[in-house]
Amino acid sequence: MQSAQPSALYRAVVAVSLFFSLAQSAAGQILTDLEMKGRFAELEKAAEQKLAKQGKPSTSVLSPLCFAYSRVKRYQKLFDCLDRLEQQIRAGDWVAETDASMISNSDATPMPAMLRAEALIELGDYPRAAEQAKLALSKVQDRLPYGIWAPKRYRLSLLGTLGLAYALGGDRKGAAEQIKQLEDFSIGFIGSAGMTPLRANAIARIYMALGDFARAFEQVREDDAWMSAVYFLNNASWGLSGDDRAENFVLLPKMLIRGKCLSELGRLAEAKQSLDAILRNARVVDQGELHWLALFERGRIAEREQNFSEAISYYLRAIKVIEEQRSSINTEANKIGFVGDKQAVYGRVIALLVEQGKESEAFEYVERSKSRALVDMLASKKEFSARTDPEKARLILAQLDAADLASRTEDVLAKPGEHSALRTLQTVRQEIQRAAPELSTLVTVTSVPAEELKRLVRQDEALLEYYYQGSDLYAFVVTRDRLQAKRLAGGDIVAQVLRFRRALERADSEQWQTQARALYELLWQPLESMLSARSVTVVAHGALHYLPFAALQKPDGSFLVDHYGLRFLPSASVLKFLRPALPGRRAQLLALGNPDLGDPKLDLHFAEGEAKTVAAIFPESRVLLRTDATESNFKKAGSVFPRIHFATHGKFQADDPLSSGLYLARDAENDGVLTVGELYSMNLDADLVTLSACETGLGKVANGDDVVGLTRGFLYAGSRSIVASLWNVDDRATAQLMKAFYENLAGMNKEEALRQAQIRTRQDFPPPFFWAAFQLTGQAE
């Protein structure tokens, strides 16, 4: 292990060699001054401008551009850029050239797979990340004179990335093999100042991902004061202003790893010293991932020391850092080695506030956590429908992008209080909230105050919102008069919901009844004294979004649907933006059924009859079947009809929720998939949209929070209410349920019409699998 006080000769060699080792990025590309300073938003902009002027793309520009995308978390742009870079490399353009002030070039061949591996780790796809890391390793070659140390840096970085992918994916044997390869990795004397600490961090992060904090700490226990001084002096001599990559990518991550390890090992006083040193460092402000993680870990220490007010203070500071970002802060697992879940920060704040009796504040942070998840999911979407002026929406989004870019490119050496660009970003957000409040809920973190929500709850209803983090499960009950919070038993909610759904699919009466009663006792029975109203609006969370609440069973054998009218919302704040029903509007209906998808196996014969049956209930209805049930016809006619009924297949894409959608017939204008992403750019004026399809109620639970699925998409597009299914529904039972539902609408509100239709269908199809899949989201009237 390297001594903390190296020889004078060693220091001299460090000073000479450090520039050359830093001149190659972790991706093997030649560094521009912007990249060396870690100013990736500026690098992104400069590379995009240079690429636009080139006409024909080149590796020398695509390489820094892809690297910039990877660091600012523009994943879609990154993957597209890497595809283009691979095309250039296959065409023989594999050299990433340097700036005129540099002296060597770099082989870009391994770069696409390397950056994909890092991105896939951040996105949680560890098996594919390992595949890409191995692919990149297979492409590393010595091609002198194109870089003296580039192949070594490639291999060092990739061994760490591969080990981390194995560790986070649960492959302990594979992770151990990569640690051994890193320990045996020959760095050599020249350039070791740059690569030795990188190797130590790489080994430490793998151990951290494996939960072995003692061994991780052994890699980072030494003092880096002397190394920091050498970095500063060396960079100053090259005019790099001190804000170098060594500080951003070696020393600060190492300090955080050290603090995390000390905390996990119970050495709290030492952990506080390390974390406080990070928080005093001016540059950490511009390292969002490191900053909030340091604040969160510092809060966890305060909580363990029973200093709850201090813990809350640190947690709130961490949340402030998280919410100042428009796009998602993903923990850079390839830097730190442990996946920090930013939702865990909200979870600890909520738990402490509930314990202190601050129920309204806790409820506000529940809503903000859901809003954060939605912002993360929609951050890259540029087109949203606007109720009054779409052009205004585009202008607002452009202003937000410009302010966001400015806040991330501001000089990292600015003194506290001088962040004018950050103030501009905050000003733009405030303007959005005033000018386009609905749009603001999608692109900024917002919540509706508890007192305002109380006024939005109907006099005869209660709003029940669930929240869980780990094994902590909370329920909040909001009525016109009060807000109450209760901690429930908790446990593994995901496993319990999964067992219930599997039992329902088998229609095994003993199994599903056992699960239905257990979930009733956990989720509903402790709250019944607070739920005096017969109508309950449920705001689910995490796996509870997939739970058919109507099928929860009381000890006497009755179901919740027998006692309560139920409707659902993706978050309580949505109440403020639900459009009121239009009285006196004609009950016209547009029905799309059994579209021709080009494969007889996908035909839904009962769906065709269902569409005709429900359309016959209403005068002036229009039915589109088979080749007429196209996406284009829906987009043309959808805004005209107050009620829209889809009897078709749906698709659910957990890895890309905005691409989830409904299958319709394709034509020359559209591909036949009506996606969630498209819905956010549409304007409807529908009183009711019914999705009588497969899995249309499912959406990705974004990091345990809000569901981004078709229901929310239709709400934003302009539908007041949506009825959708939670699983693959039975054709015959669904046709009967839908007929009863629409007939009931003549004399009941939607909530009661669905409840009575489910009770009626249960008479002929008793197991909940046949009648409990459908849920009402949005307005009950």
DSSP string, 453-512: HHHHS-TTEEEEEEEEETTEEEEEEE-SS-EEEEEE----HHHHHHHHHHHHHHT-HHHH
Model pLDDT for residues 494-542, shown as the tens digit of each residue: 889 888 988 988 766 778 999 999 999 999 999 999 998 899 999 998 8
Question: What's the average model confidence in pLDDT over 563-582?
Answer: 85
332 with 299: CB under 8 angstroms? no
30 with 98: CB under 8 angstroms? yes
* Whole-prediction pTM: 0.78
Cα–Cα distance measured from residue 227 to residue 250, given in angstroms and rounded to the nearest whole number: 10
User: Both 692 and 764 in a single domain?
Assistant: yes
The answer to whether residue 108 is domain-embedded is yes
**Greater pLDDT, 747 or 581:** 747
Report the pLDDT value the prediction gives residue 317, as an integer from 0 to 100. 93
The answer to whether residue 359 is domain-embedded is no
User: Both 212 and 71 in a single domain?
Assistant: yes
User: Both 541 and 687 in a single domain?
Assistant: no
The answer to whether residue 476 is domain-embedded is yes
The answer to whether residue 381 is domain-embedded is no
Report the pLDDT value the prediction gives residue 316, as an integer from 0 to 100. 95
Rounded-to-5 percentages of helix, strand, coil across the chain = 55, 10, 35
Highest mean pLDDT (candidates 2-16, 409-423, 638-652): 638-652
Question: What's the average model confidence in pLDDT over 563-592?
Answer: 83
Q: What is the CATH number of the domain that holds 302?
A: 1.25.40.10
Report the pLDDT value the prediction gives residue 393, as an integer from 0 to 100. 66
User: Both 591 and 533 in a single domain?
Assistant: no
Question: What's the average model confidence in pLDDT over 721-744?
Answer: 88
User: Both 423 and 568 in a single domain?
Assistant: no
Considering only 354-363, 417-426, 627-636, 713-722, which range has the smallest mean pLDDT? 417-426
List, in sequence order, every residue forming a beta bridge with 484; answer none if it has no partner. 477
459 lies in which domain range?
450-576
Dihedral angle at the C-alpha atoms of 252, 257, 259, 263, nearest 10 degrees? 160
The answer to whether residue 353 is domain-embedded is no
Q: How confident is the model at residue 338 (pLDDT cuts 50, 70, 90)?
A: very low
575 with 458: CB under 8 angstroms? no
Whether residue 171 has pLDDT greater than 70 = yes
User: Both 644 and 617 in a single domain?
Assistant: yes
Q: Is residue 535 helix, strand or coil? A: strand
Whether residue 775 has pLDDT greater than 60 = yes
Q: How confident is the model at residue 281 (pLDDT cuts 50, 70, 90)?
A: confident
Amino acid at 194: G
pLDDT, mean over the chain: 78
Q: Is residue 106 helix, strand or coil? A: strand
Amino acid at 685: D
Helices (H), 524-650: 605-617, 631-637
497 with 425: CB under 8 angstroms? no
The answer to whether residue 362 is domain-embedded is no
Q: Is residue 630 helix, strand or coil? A: strand
Q: Into how many domains does the chain fold?
A: 4
Highest mean pLDDT (candidates 239-243, 358-362, 714-718): 358-362
Q: What is the CATH number of the domain that holds 712?
A: 3.40.50.1460
The count of C-alpha atoms lying within 13 angstroms of the C-alpha of 369, restricted to the half-sphere facing its C-beta, is 32
Highest mean pLDDT (candidates 412-426, 680-694, 697-711): 680-694
User: Both 663 and 567 in a single domain?
Assistant: no
At which of 520, 545, 576 does a domain end? Answer: 576
Nearest to 168 by CA among 208, 135, 200: 208
List, in sequence order, every residue forming a beta bridge with 725; answer none if it has no partner. 774
Nearest to 312 by CA among 321, 293, 299: 299
Question: What's the average model confidence in pLDDT over 595-602?
Answer: 85
Model pLDDT for residues 763-772, shown as the tens digit of each residue: 999 999 999 9
Report the pLDDT value the prediction gives residue 302, as an integer from 0 to 100. 97
Report the pLDDT value the prediction gives residue 371, as an integer from 0 to 100. 74
User: Both 761 and 620 in a single domain?
Assistant: yes
**Greater pLDDT, 90 or 717:** 90
At which of 553, 576, 599 does a domain end? Answer: 576
User: Both 594 and 567 in a single domain?
Assistant: no
Question: What's the average model confidence in pLDDT over 283-295?
Answer: 77
Cα–Cα distance measured from residue 214 to residue 205, given in angstroms and rounded to the nearest whole number: 12
Cα–Cα distance measured from residue 410 to residue 537, given in angstroms and rounded to the nearest whole number: 45
The answer to whether residue 230 is domain-embedded is yes
Cα–Cα distance measured from residue 75 to residue 66, given in angstroms and rounded to the nearest whole number: 10
Cα–Cα distance measured from residue 14 to residue 410, given in angstroms and rounded to the nearest whole number: 31
User: Both 32 and 111 in a single domain?
Assistant: yes
User: Both 154 and 249 in a single domain?
Assistant: yes
Those residues with Cβ within 8 angstroms of residue 400's Cβ, 6 or more apart along the chain or in another chain:
326, 425, 428, 429, 432, 443
Q: How confident is the model at residue 16 (pLDDT cuts 50, 70, 90)?
A: very low
User: Both 99 and 209 in a single domain?
Assistant: yes
111: number of Cβ within 10 Å = 29
At which of 318, 340, 362 does a domain end? Answer: 340
In residues, how long is the chain? 781
The answer to whether residue 240 is domain-embedded is yes
259 with 274: CB under 8 angstroms? yes
Considering only 51-55, 122-126, 195-199, 410-414, which range has the smallest mean pLDDT? 410-414
Question: What's the average model confidence in pLDDT over 15-29?
Answer: 33
Q: Long-range contacts made by residues 500-504, C-beta under 8 angstroms, separation at least 24?
A: 500/547, 501/546, 501/547, 501/727, 504/548, 504/551, 504/727, 504/767, 504/768, 504/769, 504/772
